[in-house]
Structure 1
Amino acid sequence: MADTTTVTPFTLDVPQSDLDDLGRRLRSTRWPERETVEDTSQGPRLAKVQALVEHWATAYDWRRAEALLNGWGQSTTTIDGLTIHFLHIRSAVPSARPLLLTHGWPGSVLEFRHAIGPLTDPEAHGGSAEDAFHLVVPSLPGFGFSGKPTTTGWTLARTARAWSAVMDRLGYTDWFAQGGDLGATVTAELAALQATEDIGLAGIHLNMALFQPTDDEARNASPAEQAMLREGGHYWQELSAYSQQMSTRPQTIGYALSDSPVGLASWIYAMFQDVGGSHDEHGDVEALFTLDEVLDDVMLYWLPNTAASAARAYWEANRTGWANPGTVEHPLTIPVGLSVMPGEYVRRSRRWAERRYSDLVFFNEVARGGHFALLEQPELLVADIRATFRGLR
């Protein structure tokens, strides 16, 4: 597909035959036996997944989610031969500044659903007009309704360069960026690109910092930093099987996730279960999210059949050593805001962050919330985003 600078409106209208096929697959599920423990240490519990699937088959309404996406306004453009899908929601406030939001895995553009109103129309949500943003929310390559790479090389750094092209095509020359999970790395890559090419990026906000503490920092960690290291170690040893699988054999898991909607749903549900919420809330998906919120997210993998292509993002990142801009030797110089969620297993201290982000304009240890920060605690995170960028306008 030849590249152009064209931005094309996109309307989502999933064929009813695709929804009928999904219903047939759900009704013919072959279930495993119940887990042999009374907790989630073997993965999502059978009764929980069966309840999720029962709701999916009998009460869930995809057309509601479809109308929500269409109502925000969707577009596509072609970059490096790949279709990039994105939401573009303009604020009615004349002085609004553009803000690029990047999701992670197993997230989607719907990760930001509760923040869109407060960010674009702050006066209606307890803010002031000076806090208004125009939002650009792309689907990562191989995710949602973006195209699926057919060759290797779509790294997170390349994705950042594509995001810069999207902003340029929309006519934005002075803008901000925000991200968590894979989106945090893309956002940091944008900051590194700004340092060398002046792409118009004026500042970033992260709700996850993916740099690794140095050996010296680990040896001299404070008690709070030692707790961060322990919890990160627990996550890697007990909860990261999905990451190791997708980082090394994405095609293998792709066959199962592409064929079985229940397999895909449980694969994603496990993440909502294990890393959603503050530490005292881990494991209780239904207390943190509605079943529709979980299933809307699953559907953005099921309908476009992107389980395998999304998994390959981990394989690409693993090939480059999970490089993340912002090091002690080469810190990011752009203004950075960092929100640390208490339930996030990958947490970093202000002291560590200041060594990687030489202009750390905002740092906050958020009161509640976990990995899906803007979905779980939109009010708290929107306040942090406003505080980060207010002085940079």
Structure 2
Amino acid sequence: MTAQPTAAVRPYRVEIPQSALDDLNERLDRARFADTIEDADGEYGTAVSRVRRLAEYWRHGFDWRAFEARLNAYPQFLTEIDGQDIHFLHVKSETPNGTALLLTHGWPGSQAEYLDVIDPLTAAGFDLVIPAIPGYGFAGPTTARGWNVHRTARAWVALMARLGYERYGAIGNDGGSMISPEVGRLDPEHVVGVHVTQLFSFPSGDPAELADVTDDEKRALETLQWFWENMGAFNQLQSQQPQTLAHALADSPVGLLGWNIQLLPETLDEDFVLANVATYWLTGTAGSAIRFYREMALDQEKADGPTTVPTALAGSANDFYGIRRFAERDHANIVRWNVYETPGHYTAHQAPEVLVRDVVEFFGSLG
């Protein structure tokens, strides 16, 4: 790591005012829950029973201050890039000149996704930079158009240069699995590898691509089709009219809870679910976070060929992770493709030891 001026990087601590927590509790106390019909638990969307249970725990069990203290146990900073404040954790290892890792979350997650891997990865000799996507979390909402995958990736390249890293890897989950490969495309001179839990490469529409699909690929395509037909409403709405939904999410913590937990399944512990949901509520970024989908839908920027940096997948068998033939069309240097029997979408939290091992092995293999 090369020393750089740090005037543009300001120390930060999470300190939510007690008045904001009091307001949240009052709103939870006054919550008016949706009606439902008999035997429809989950069939029509997020189940009322689960929303009630989580709202009760949010009000009487979840400890925001404990989560806040966990975040504040690690160095955090703000810096302005491209007119937008960026919040990030920056945790250094004791290994001089070790590889830095840039870890990016998605929606409806947050930096909380990576808290369980910070200590083991720094112990393995990696410096960690964990930013929040612009418009998500503690730096506040975005204030201008255009914060899509490409603009975020450019901001990440600028961030790593500002921090003085000349050699780093890019890691991602969910939306981060779109941003991190783009970081590699933009900065191949400094990005030594990209490690993601999904590779979002899909059929182009050419029938020839599907002529000889394997049974495993067919199952993956069927899973993908089922998801979009049964669980894809969030993407449609957030890609078209995020502001319409934002009015409800900004005014009701229970409304925000009901919307976000559609992709925070019951296999996750309640504290993790609420750490993520509460972050959106207490920072006022529920609306700007979903606006990211609209920005992606409007984005006309096209890739000029496949990515070329070494790329690794550590997918979960219980989540869509990608289809290799299509991924290889978009990423020319996939050197590692592992699928694990992990619980689901949030591997860094649900199976941190699996992700850490895969990351250490991958970046160790790159020299």
TM above 0.5, one fold? yes
Counterpart position of 1:331: 306
Task: Indicate yes or no: 2:113 matched with 1:138.
Answer: no
CA contact (8 A) 1:35 1:46 kept: no
Counterpart position of 1:305: 284
Counterpart position of 1:232: 224
Counterpart position of 2:363: 389
Counterpart position of 1:171: 164
Residues 244, 219 of structure 1: alpha-carbon distance in 2 compared, 3 angstrom cutoff: same
Distance (Å, rounded) in 2 between the aligned partners of 1:35 and 1:207:
37
SS at match of 1:113: helix
Distance (Å, rounded) in 1 between the aligned partners of 2:39 and 2:186:
48
Counterpart position of 1:160: 153
Question: What TM-score does the superposition give when structure 1 sets the normalisation length?
Answer: 0.88
Distance (Å, rounded) in 2 between the aligned partners of 1:350 and 1:269:
29
- Show structure 1 runs of 5+ residues with no match: 123-131, 274-284
Task: Indicate yes or no: 2:3 matched with 1:11.
Answer: no
Q: When the two structures are aligned, how many residues end up with a matched partner?
A: 360
Instruction: State the shift of 1:92 in Å.
Output: 1.8
Instruction: State the shift of 1:344 in Å.
Output: 1.5
CA contact (8 A) 1:225 1:348 kept: no
Deviation >4 Å, runs of 4+: none
Q: Deviations over 1:227-272 (max 9, x none)?
A: 1111111111110111111100000000000100001011111111
Q: Deviations over 1:264-297 (max 9, x none)?
A: 0111111112xxxxxxxxxxx1xx3221111111
Distance (Å, rounded) in 1 between the aligned partners of 2:322 and 2:263:
21
Counterpart position of 1:116: 118
SS at match of 1:303: helix
Distance (Å, rounded) in 1 between the aligned partners of 2:20 and 2:171:
34
Please tell me the root mean square deviation across aligned C-alpha atoms, in Å.
1.7
Counterpart position of 2:142: 149
Counterpart position of 1:180: 173
SS at match of 1:18: helix
Counterpart position of 2:52: 50
Counterpart position of 2:3: none
SS at match of 1:354: helix
Counterpart position of 2:259: 267
CA contact (8 A) 1:101 1:178 kept: yes
Q: Deviations over 1:179-201 (max 9, x none)?
A: 02111111111111124xx3x11
Q: Counterpart of 2:345 in structure 1: which amino acid?
A: H
Q: Counterpart of 2:344 in structure 1: which amino acid?
A: G
CA contact (8 A) 1:185 1:324 kept: no
Q: Counterpart of 2:315 in structure 1: which amino acid?
A: V
Counterpart position of 1:206: 196
Question: What TM-score does the superposition give when structure 2 sets the normalisation length?
Answer: 0.94
CA contact (8 A) 2:140 2:285 kept: no
Match of 1:28 among 24, 27, 30: 30
SS at match of 1:114: helix
Distance (Å, rounded) in 2 between the aligned partners of 1:332 and 1:212:
15
Residues 5, 186 of structure 1: alpha-carbon distance in 2 compared, 3 angstrom cutoff: farther
Match of 1:359 among 333, 338, 358: 333
CA contact (8 A) 1:160 1:190 kept: yes
Counterpart position of 2:319: 344
Counterpart position of 2:104: 102
**More off after superposition, 150-159 vs 247-256:** 150-159
Instruction: State the shift of 1:383 in Å.
Output: 1.4
Q: Counterpart of 2:271 in structure 1: which amino acid?
A: D
Instruction: State the shift of 1:300 in Å.
Output: 1.0
